[in-house]
Amino acid sequence: MTVMLRRTPVWRGTVPGGLGPTVVTLGVFDGVHRGHARLIGEAVGIGRDRGLPTVLVTFDPHPARVVGPPRCTDALSTVERRAELAGELGVDAVCVLSFTRELAAMSPLDFVARILAGRLRAAAVVVGGNFTFGHRGAGTPDTLRRLGHNYGFTTHPVDLLPLAGTPCSSTHIRSCLRSGDVDGAARALGRPHRVQGVLGARGQLSVEPGTAVPAPGLYRGRLTDGEDVVVEVTETGAVVVRAARPRTGPAAVDFLGVSG
């Protein structure tokens, strides 16, 4: 288990002693979209009311890369960016669980006993109404509520934030990006979609494999140092930044809209 504390770059190891009891919110949280923000807001509120730290528990890689039917899991954010955004929303610590086949095989009871109650000493658990966990996704918010009676935590299922009739979801944002609808992605995220990577001499932005980039086309973008740029996504999915002031090295570009 990796733990990242706000203003601490990366903490690797077990949950630091003295962190618990905690308020825990659970899920992948890719992109930290507006629905996730509702959930995190609820968790942070409970943490403040009870005087407890709020811990966001996330999974890496995306569980759907390890188990279940294949589906698009292109990453809307790196784990570090997820942690940064969660920190901005008031989360005190982020635990990254390696989603392995071994973890996937854990029963809901084992996950609660060993991880939620055992290591995190959860006093409250906040999840979306559609959250599932444990082998074959058998655990639900109701399972958490029942187990919580024995393990001493309260369970807080949160209604899913809708977006034009359907729940706001990472899947919806990935689908917006695949069709080049960066405005739709931004509406669900609550901010422009950001792609991080390393800028090369000809403006090419090298990104981690499996990063969600918009459909091929030309976009208005902004580098995180504030410069407005044109960004081309090529037919092969390469990202090329056309900046007046070329530079190289680590960079991030926000997709503001379609160009032209």
Ligand X SMILES: Cc1cc2nc3c(=O)[nH]c(=O)nc-3n(C[C@H](O)[C@H](O)[C@H](O)COP(=O)(O)O)c2cc1C
Q: Does 89 bind ligand X (CB under 6 A)?
A: no
Rg (alpha carbons) of the chain, rounded to whole number: 19
Segment near ligand X (CB under 6 A); pick from 129-137, 150-158, 174-182, 238-246? 129-137
| Tokens linked to 132 | 């599932």
Q: Which residues contact 204 (CB under 8 A, 6 or more apart)?
A: 238, 239, 240, 241
Q: Where are the beta strands (DSSP E) in 115-182?
A: 122-128, 154-158, 162-163, 166-167
% helix, strand, coil for the chain, step of 5? 30, 30, 40
DSSP reduced 3-state for 196: strand
Which one of residues 170, 189, 194, 195 is an interface residue with ligand ATP (CB under 6 A)?
Answer: 170
Q: Which is nearer to ligand ATP, 191 or 242 (by Cβ)?
A: 191
**Binding mask 95-124 vs ligand X (x if CB under 6 A, - otherwise)?**
--------xx-x----x-------------
From residue 19 to residue 58, the character string flagging contacts with ligand X as x (rule: CB under 6 A) and all else as - is --------xx------------------------------
Give min distance, CB of 52 to ligand ATP, in A. 19
What's the rounded Cα separation, in Å, for the pair 204 and 109?
47
| Closest CA relative to residue 211, chosen from 89, 98, 81 | 81
CB of 41 to ligand ATP, least distance (A): 10
- B/e letters for 189-205, b = 16+ CB within 10 Å, e = fewer, are beebbbbbbebeeebbb
In the chain, what is the greatest distance between 2 CA atoms, to the nearest angstrom?
61
Q: Is 135 in the site for ligand X (CB under 6 A)?
A: yes
Would you count residue 161 as binding ligand ATP (CB under 6 A)? yes
State the DSSP code for 15: P
Structure tokens that stand for 42 in this block: 């609820």
Among 26, 52, 95, 177, binds ligand ATP (CB under 6 A): 26
Distance CA 53, CA 193 (A): 29
Looking only at residues 62 through 81 of this chain, which bind ligand X when binding is defined by CB under 6 A?
Answer: 63, 67-68
Q: Which is nearer to ligand ATP, 36 or 194 (CB)?
A: 36
Instruction: Give, as one character, the DSSP assignment of residue 245.
Output: S
Q: Name the segment binding ligand X (CB under 6 A); options: 9-17, 59-67, 146-154, 185-193.
A: 59-67
Window contacting ligand ATP (CB under 6 A); options: 30-38, 104-112, 197-205, 207-215: 30-38
In the complex, the residues that contact ligand X under the rule CB under 6 A are 27-28, 59, 63, 67-68, 103-104, 106, 111, 131-137
In the complex, the residues that contact ligand ATP under the rule CB under 6 A are 26-30, 35-36, 38-39, 127-128, 130-131, 158, 160-161, 167-171
